[in-house]
Amino acid sequence: MRLGPHELPNRLFVAPMAGVTDRPFRQLCRRLGAGYAVSEMITSLPGLWHTAKTRRRADHSGEPGPVAVQIAGTEPHQMAHAARHNIDHGAQIIDINMGCPARKVCNRWAGSALMRNEPLALAIIDAVVAACAPKGVPVTLKMRTGWNDAERNAVRLARAADAAGVAMITVHGRTREQGYRGHAEYDTIAAVKDAVRVPVVANGDIDTPWRAREVLQRTGADALMIGRAAQGRPWIFREIAQFLDTGTLPPPPATRDVARWLLEHLDDHHALYGPDVGARSARKHIGWAVRGLPGGAALRTRLNELDDAQAQRAALSAYFEHLADIHPLLPLPLDTADVDDHGAISRIAPASGHAARGGNALAVHARSGSEYGVPAP
């Protein structure tokens, strides 16, 4: 798939998520099969560009290209200035945020709130495209289906963005009012695809290879963007890629491979954030990865007690060494899923779902944390 001057290796993208898709996470997803990743949103307010948070978000050191930076704001001239500033600091693609449903963003009329003010939204698009065009940098747009059920204006806004020179449009299949509640709908995404000439990316509830194939078929989208389903499970990109290519799934990842990926991920967090913030950030990301695994709760408790990078590394390494001895392939998390007829994770379910289907999984997961290298409290 081509995006401006950039040839993307595949059509599976990492969604921008504030507090999640930092540089270490994007790099991990790219190593595990994602073809493209967009940064956490960066404010258009110049007074905040020199804060530690924004400096880290704008640090793309070692990141595989193309480097895509999402910017957020409400003033066209500030958004244009932010686009130029980020290009000067390594951005190769600029993404405009009109999809974030967070209240603190929408209360400032940024993010998906811009969909309620189409003249302002289009003024921002025009300004950013004009700022990026002389530098040969494509502009993309991420939005929702609309503000609420009565105001689904994604098709109208997408047509205008296409005419203004936007190079790609991503649509999350919910309204702003929904937030992340309920289910994504794909009819609006299909309508957007039919209405514009540029590539369209479908986003929302793409959490299994089967759902990925279904969404592509239902929408005709050129690519898929995956967000929450990759938290703690970044290898979902390679699973989907193989399934779309061959109709088959790879086996679960080897537990020792997962250990290596997460140890590298932990090191990357400490390198980017430093000792204090790095320890807190690593706890969050490692916690997602071990949620529901045997002994995972005990490991999370242990990591919450550790502020030192080497101590966190030793605890994580010991946990996975013991886990790999019992489960050479990563086991299905106990509290994560029901499994459909294909063996795919189909929905979030409580642990009792496994118990209802038989005792083996429950018995395996009932082992104490100390049996997986985590000291007993």
Q: What number of H helices and E strands is found in the chain?
A: 15, 13
Q: Let me know if 100 is a catalytic residue.
A: yes
H-type helices in the chain, by residue range?
A: 23-31, 52-57, 76-88, 103-106, 118-132, 154-164, 187-195, 209-219, 236-246, 255-273, 275-290, 296-304, 309-326, 352-357, 359-365
Task: Please give the Cα distance from 257 to 67 (Å, whole number).
Answer: 27
Which among 29, 100, 106, 132 is annotated as catalytic? 100
Task: Strands of 174-295 (E only): list them.
Answer: 200-203, 223-226
Task: Please give the Cα distance from 236 to 260 (Å, whole number).
Answer: 17
Type and span of the H or E element at 286:
helix 275-290
The residue assigned the tokens 């930076």 is 69
The residue assigned the tokens 């190769």 is 92
Nearest to 281 by CA among 110, 109, 25, 17: 25
Task: Please give the Cα distance from 120 to 231 (Å, whole number).
Answer: 33
CB 78 within 8 A of CB 125: no
**Catalytic residue ranges:** 100
